[in-house]
């Protein structure tokens, strides 16, 4: 009982009230050259979008976060462990927002969580602990197509509030507006009826989020996203020999 009480005790960290359990879960996520206010914002998004156990898992082996200006139209990047990148790296543009932060951390979770299967498992292949570049370049279009679409779906599921700024990938969904596609997916992926106002939806995380994406992804608008001649769902089937 003492351990439990200690875990729920709040600590002021960079002006952010985190419990000891929440702070411990993020201890292996390292921030380099990130202003205190930006770090606090990112850490708060993480505790809202992921469970402590998920954050603990994502930090194993190390994870570095940096913030600096990216090219126009790019707000975040995830660089997997590979030759020249000994520790996974997430880079954010200074124009931080909840959706982008969650999106890049979902990419990382998809890569390092060995328990994941189905749509929530990374389309990239990891070989001997490093990114398999040969597999990627042989399947680049299909990998990018499904990896981004499924990551967007999981992000849409997890963010505690509906996105203020839509993911650019929703603009690659045909036959509907990006706004309508996102709002419909947000309702579906948070377990709500389509008649509900999107502002009333709340994100879900942990196993509930993973199970929801695996169940509902084929029926989302983002599954029809096209970064090439095929939809994301078709790319998934090709990569998994289901076509």
- Span 156-192, pLDDT tens digits: 999 999 999 999 999 999 999 999 999 999 999 999 9
Class assignment of domain 9-113? alpha beta
pLDDT tier at 4, thresholds 50, 70, 90 = low
Convert 50-104 into a string of H (helix), E (strand) and C (coil): CCHHHHHHHHCCCEEEEECCCCCCCCEEEECCECCECCCEEEECCCCCHHHHHHH
Residues of each domain in the chain carrying CATH 3.30.2010: 9-113
What pLDDT score does 2 carry?
46
Residue whose entry in the numeric block shows the structure tokens 């005790």: 9
pLDDT at 62 over 50: yes
pTM: 0.94
Instruction: Give one DSSP letter per residue of 175-202, joined into a string.
Output: TS-HHHHHHHHHHHHTT--TTS-GGG--
């Amino acid at each position: 009982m003492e351990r439990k009480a200690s875990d729920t005790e709040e600590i002021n960290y960079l002006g952010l009230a985190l419990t000891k359990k929440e702070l411990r879960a993020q201890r292996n996520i390292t921030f380099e050259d990130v202003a205190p206010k930006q770090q606090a914002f990112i850490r708060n998004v993480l505790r809202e979008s992921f469970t402590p156990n998920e954050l603990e898992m994502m930090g194993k082996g190390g994870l570095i976060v940096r913030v600096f200006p990216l090219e126009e139209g790019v707000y975040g990047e995830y660089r997997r462990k590979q030759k020249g990148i000994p520790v996974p790296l997430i880079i954010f543009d200074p124009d931080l927002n909840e959706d982008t932060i969650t999106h890049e951390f979902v990419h990382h979770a998809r890569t390092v969580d060995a328990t994941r299967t189905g749509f929530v498992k990374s389309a990239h292949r990891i070989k001997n602990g490093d990114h398999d570049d040969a597999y990627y370049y042989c399947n680049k279009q299909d990998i990018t197509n499904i990896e981004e679409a499924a990551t967007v779906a999981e992000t849409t599921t997890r963010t505690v509030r509906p996105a203020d700024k839509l993911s650019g990938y929703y603009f690659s969904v045909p036959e509907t507006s990006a706004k309508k596609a996102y709002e419909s997916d947000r309702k579906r992926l948070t377990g709500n009826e389509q008649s509900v106002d999107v502002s009333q939806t709340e994100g879900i995380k942990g196993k509930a989020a993973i199970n929801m994406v695996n169940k509902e992804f084929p029926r989302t608008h983002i599954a029809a996203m096209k970064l090439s001649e095929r939809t994301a769902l078709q790319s998934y089937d090709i990569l998994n020999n289901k076509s």
